[in-house]
Structure 1
Amino acid sequence: NISLPLPIMRIRSVATTIGTGGTFVPGPELQGVRGGLFRHGDRTPFDTFPTDLHGEDDWPQGFGQMTKLGLQQQYELGKYLRNRYKNFLNATYIYILSTDYDRTIMSAQATLASLFPPTGSQIWNPKILWQPIPVHVVPQSLDQIHFPIRNCPRYLQLQEETKTSKEYNKLLHPHLKIHNYTRPKWASDYLMHKMEKLAALTMRVFFEVYKKEEKSRLQGGKQKNIHCFKRIYMYYFFFLFKKKQHGTTIAGLQIALNIYNGNPPPYASCHFIELYEEPSGQYSIGMYYRNDTSKDPYKLTLPGCTHPYPLKKFVQLVSPIIPDDWEKECGIRGTMKGNETVL
């Protein structure tokens, strides 16, 4: 998963909508892409079961690494983003933040290769239509932006409580019969369907099942330590573009906003947010989710809103899941000093 916060992009692009009489009437003007969040591309397995005939040696890249398909998925995502935001792209005004894993760093690089192909003076070798774009990485041991909950005692306590809650056990019970199957049955269509259901349940257990709002607050981390987002509304945007855990990033965001569709985000899926200026001068937010490369992304509408939704309304809806004092709510009580991050 890779974050693309773009806080300083303010290029205007005139957008119009067709009125009922067939004439063009003023519509919202896209002010900029506030950011994007996407999952890494297809990867090899992390591990396998003891009797599997195919071990790590059968995977040229090793376990947990990018595949050729994954690189192609990310390259195609970059091409799509370039086409969608061609009037806004500028390699000078983009900040790419990745977790410290090979697959996420490589995903970012593959996406950037097609998102920012060199033109004009950027071409340094006519035979190589590629230019390096910086990918910023925080070491795992210091990463309070992408992994805040692993240092949050209260969140870990909530996860233990979740396992004994009625809510969790009710969801888990239908899947208990899948264990101890032999290899042929384990690979059956029925079993794979069950495994998909369990994967979806895992996403929900992390963020949705049992005390959902408190989990959402804790997974958000220490937004108020981000200097460039201290302006009004801005740190709310950063909350949307950072990652918590691999494979759960987009799901965690969408669960917190009550727009999750119940399915684990596929490889190279992308959730992005656009900022518009209405003819009235007011600002509004549009959110989109791309989880199928063969289709256009679909609109994400917050409960009780129409798309796009007023910025003030958006802030009002997300404010309950933004912690005022993250360390206090986590139960750290001054035992750990947080790093201050400036982007």
Structure 2
Amino acid sequence: MVGAVSQAPVPASRRALLGVVLMLGILRATEGRKLKFVNLVYRHGDRAPVRRYPTDPYVEKDWPQGFGQLTQVGMRQHYELGQYLRHRYKDFLNILYDWQEIYVRSTDVDRTLMSAESNLAGLYPLRGHKIFLPGLKWQPIPVHTVPLQDEKLLVYPVKNCPRYVELMMETESCSEYKEVLQANQDFLKRLSANTGIPYKDLSLYAVWLIYDTLYCEQVHNFTLPLWVTPATMEHMRQLKEFAIKSDYGLYKPKEKSRLQGGVLLKQILQNFAQVVNGTKSTHKLIMYSAHDLTIVALQMALDVYSLAPDYAACHIFELYQEENGSFTVTMYYRNGSSSETRLLTLPSCTESCPLEKFILLTADVIPENWQEECQAHRSSIQIELILGLASGFCFLLLLIILCVKLQCRNVYQSLGYQKLASHHEPDEEDHETRDNLKPKGSQGCLLLMFDE
């Protein structure tokens, strides 16, 4: 998704950031390569399903805390991730919590807030004078959030973007999308019969939700219905992956990224700029506690996406200052607590990607003005054409009605009928009177007359 350097025009804001980076790159050499900043984006831990399908044998009360809530498994996953981060950055972060070093932001959802708190418990084990209550090895650490209706950074797809809605409608009209639906028609009909969801409502997103519910029940050792075979689960997983590809790629992926994952990537680049400038932020670590689609949208924008993120998946950005004073970005990905951390390389760059090149390579997926770019693509010419056609049609219709009325009036008079003055004129709801006055062979004409 990320194009070659020559293909991406550099907007004004990117040029400004590049200027700062290049200026600082000629400063005196430092003693060895140094880690200057870390930005994490992780998914919450294991949770209950967010909903059930109509024939699901299990209901919300079968889950200890209800639908969508973090489980104890999820708490342990994030505690373990916190311990991993403690070990990884033991020489970078203070062993004791320091509010100036770390900033944590979460979506305003129970499972992401609780995941962040569990993570911080593992990252900052309580010791020494930090113990404020004997026997309690935990301390409160701030986790910042905003109301969901105001969230425009960590919840995807970002809402209130008409252009993205247009892109999704266009995606569903493209040949590849239609071919996949056609090829899976029989499977979707069987899934409809087994789940109780009407076939007409069984979108790829609905398949995704069914798979999620069954996956949650499976990992928690619930007995699944007989129709849920390994082959069925794998088939649904593949359709889920295609749905993800459709939402953030497949059709006009760069424009989709500018409206979705590029929003988060832009913020991360701004975080880098603050560190490079050294004027605003003293944070060494910024954490974003979010969802699977947050990581999906981000990785799609970076063109490094492979598979849907597991619970507690963590995308890591590390900003280094090299010996010559320049800055580089290295990315890692840990897809769940049972996975090894692997290096991610931005296409067309090296493992330690120079920051200025990182900015250039991602320029075409960074929105300059998100609000403007989200406007629906209805040109003034198209609007005028539509209005003109509508006006012309209405005018033509009025002419036809007028001609028919004139013709009917002539027929009425030729039959010898006279319109008598009366205190009671039949209206549209006076059906009985209207029926009594209808001459044979001219019912439609009289209806027009009474509407006069």
Q: Residue in 2 aligned with 1:133?
A: 141
The alpha-carbon deviation at position 288 of structure 1 amounts to 0.1
The alpha-carbon deviation at position 233 of structure 1 amounts to 7.4
Amino acid at match of 1:256: A
Q: Residue in 1 aligned with 2:70?
A: 66
Kept in 1, the 8 Å contact 2:272–2:319? The answer is no
Aligned equivalent of 2:81, options 71, 77, 81: 77
Work out the percentage of aligned pairs sharing the same amino acid.
43
Residue 365 of structure 2 corresponds to residue 321 of structure 1? yes
Q: Please give the per-residue CA displacement for 1:112-143, whole angstroms capped at 9, x wherever unaligned.
A: 11111222221112311111100111001122
CA RMSD of aligned residues (A): 2.9
Kept in 2, the 8 Å contact 1:287–1:299? The answer is yes
Q: Residue in 2 aligned with 1:107?
A: 115
Amino acid at match of 2:43: R
Aligned pairs (5 A) from 1:173-252: 173-179=182-188, 180-181=190-191, 182=194, 184=225, 186-219=227-260, 220-221=262-263, 231=274, 246-252=291-297
Q: Which moved more, 1:284-293 or 1:182-191?
A: 182-191
Amino acid at match of 1:259: V
Q: How many residues in Structure 1 have an aligned counterpart in Structure 2?
A: 301
For 2:287 and 2:119, how far apart are their aligned partners in 1? 16
Q: Please give the per-residue CA displacement for 1:177-221, whole angstroms capped at 9, x wherever unaligned.
A: 322244745310100001111221222122112110001011133
Q: Which moved more, 1:294-303 or 1:56-65?
A: 294-303
Kept in 2, the 8 Å contact 1:155–1:330? The answer is yes
Kept in 2, the 8 Å contact 1:175–1:198? The answer is no
Amino acid at match of 2:136: I
For 1:264 and 1:294, how far apart are their aligned partners in 2? 15
Distance 1:143 1:294, change over 3 A: closer
Kept in 2, the 8 Å contact 1:38–1:269? The answer is yes
For 2:376 and 2:173, how far apart are their aligned partners in 1? 24
Q: Which moved more, 1:152-161 or 1:178-187?
A: 178-187
Distance 1:174 1:81, change over 3 A: farther
Amino acid at match of 1:134: P
Structure 2 unmatched runs, 5+: 1-29, 196-224, 278-285, 378-452
Q: Please give the per-residue CA displacement for 1:272-303, whole angstroms capped at 9, x wherever unaligned.
A: 11112222222111100001434430000111
The alpha-carbon deviation at position 54 of structure 1 amounts to 1.1
Q: Residue in 1 aligned with 2:352?
A: 308
Kept in 2, the 8 Å contact 1:186–1:192? The answer is no
Distance 1:172 1:302, change over 3 A: farther
SS of alignment partner, residue 177 of structure 1: helix
Kept in 1, the 8 Å contact 2:42–2:291? The answer is no
For 1:280 and 1:221, how far apart are their aligned partners in 2? 31
Residue 127 of structure 2 corresponds to residue 123 of structure 1? no
Amino acid at match of 1:221: V
Q: Residue in 1 aligned with 2:449?
A: none
Kept in 2, the 8 Å contact 1:65–1:103? The answer is yes
For 1:209 and 1:257, how far apart are their aligned partners in 2? 15
For 2:288 and 2:80, how far apart are their aligned partners in 1? 22
Q: Residue in 2 aligned with 1:158?
A: 167
For 1:185 and 1:169, how far apart are their aligned partners in 2? 30
Q: Residue in 2 aligned with 1:271?
A: 315
The alpha-carbon deviation at position 174 of structure 1 amounts to 3.9
Kept in 2, the 8 Å contact 1:149–1:156? The answer is no
SS of alignment partner, residue 248 of structure 1: helix
Distance 1:229 1:108, change over 3 A: same
SS of alignment partner, residue 79 of structure 1: helix
Kept in 1, the 8 Å contact 2:161–2:374? The answer is yes
Structure 1 unmatched runs, 5+: 1-25, 235-239, 334-343
SS of alignment partner, residue 186 of structure 1: coil
Kept in 1, the 8 Å contact 2:314–2:336? The answer is no
SS of alignment partner, residue 292 of structure 2: coil
SS of alignment partner, residue 96 of structure 1: strand
* TM-score scaled by length of structure 1: 0.80
Q: Residue in 2 aligned with 1:15?
A: none
Higher-Rg structure is 2
SS of alignment partner, residue 69 of structure 2: coil
For 2:118 and 2:160, how far apart are their aligned partners in 1? 31
Kept in 1, the 8 Å contact 2:42–2:288? The answer is no
Kept in 2, the 8 Å contact 1:30–1:274? The answer is no
SS of alignment partner, residue 65 of structure 2: coil
Residue 129 of structure 2 corresponds to residue 88 of structure 1? no
Aligned equivalent of 1:256, options 269, 282, 301: 301
The alpha-carbon deviation at position 232 of structure 1 amounts to 9.0
Residue 374 of structure 2 corresponds to residue 330 of structure 1? yes
Kept in 2, the 8 Å contact 1:145–1:242? The answer is no
Aligned equivalent of 2:341, options 293, 297, 301: 297
Amino acid at match of 2:51: D
Kept in 1, the 8 Å contact 2:258–2:367? The answer is yes
The alpha-carbon deviation at position 167 of structure 1 amounts to 3.1
